[in-house]
Amino acid sequence: MLHTKLSFLKNSDRNKYLIDGILFTVLLGFFFMFLYKGTTELGYNWQWFRIPDFIYTYTDGRFNPGPLLLGLGVTLKISGISFVLTFIIGLGTAILRLSNSFVGNALARIYLETIRNTPLLIQLFFIYFVIAPILDISGFWSAVIALSFFEGAYASEIFRAGITSIDKGQWEAAYSLGGSKKFGYLNVILPQAIPRIAPPLAGQAISLVKDSALVSTVAIYDLTMQGQSIISETFMTFEIWFTVAAIYLCITLLMSWTLDNLALRFKSRW
């Protein structure tokens, strides 16, 4: 009886996924049909056969990355460095928010309210056009700084929620061992908090990759900027934007899968 019930549940799950897959395929088909009809009426000339050359070329036995692949490299480099800084800024701000220091708490609040209540694009322009010329910072690092401070503000709330979710008795245990507050954070609190906040931090990392598309507005040749440059030369608007979107989708899905698996490993260890 139990075996029959389990088989029924498995079959129902399979049927559910099958129906979802069919519905998704139908909707996707309607979307492309609508797009094809609209572009045909506009007299648009599709040139999908040219797309591979903008990703890579293989000549004289050598692999040569195309502009889109080069732009993807810049996007990943900016996102990777920014995420490391986001982690540091987020953790530092969360600790200041939870500290007994009036000055530290006030500075953290001012930073959070300023960042969360102004658009990322304005922050990027301010750093690039105002701060960068004064401090002689390159466009690349201007973008990294803007993204890091923006994402760090949201990451700090994730860290703060994770730290406050730990039972207060854990602090008492750390102090009973003769440890300082630093000892408590490093050896007791954070090892328990990080596995809990791994999923939302993963989401923040994915958000960072998508937000990095804005760096194209300050003449950084990331994936988005390379796409715009190709379109201005070839007028392949739909093909290029669909390809750029597909690359972003593949990267974020791969990141999501990888980070989800890492989060599960963290949970199993702790």
3-state secondary structure 191-221: HHHHHHHHHHHHHHHHHHHHHHHHHHHHCCC
pLDDT of 7: 57
Sorted by where each begins, the domain ranges of the chain are 68-269
pLDDT of 2: 47
Residues of the chain with pLDDT under 70: 1-17, 179, 263, 266-270
**Its pTM surpasses 0.75:** yes
Angle at which helices 190-211 and 67-98 cross, to 10°: 140
pLDDT of 267: 63
pLDDT of 121: 95
Beta strands 62-65; 56-59: pairing state? antiparallel
pLDDT of 3: 53
What CATH number does the domain located at 68-269 have? Answer: 1.10.3720.10
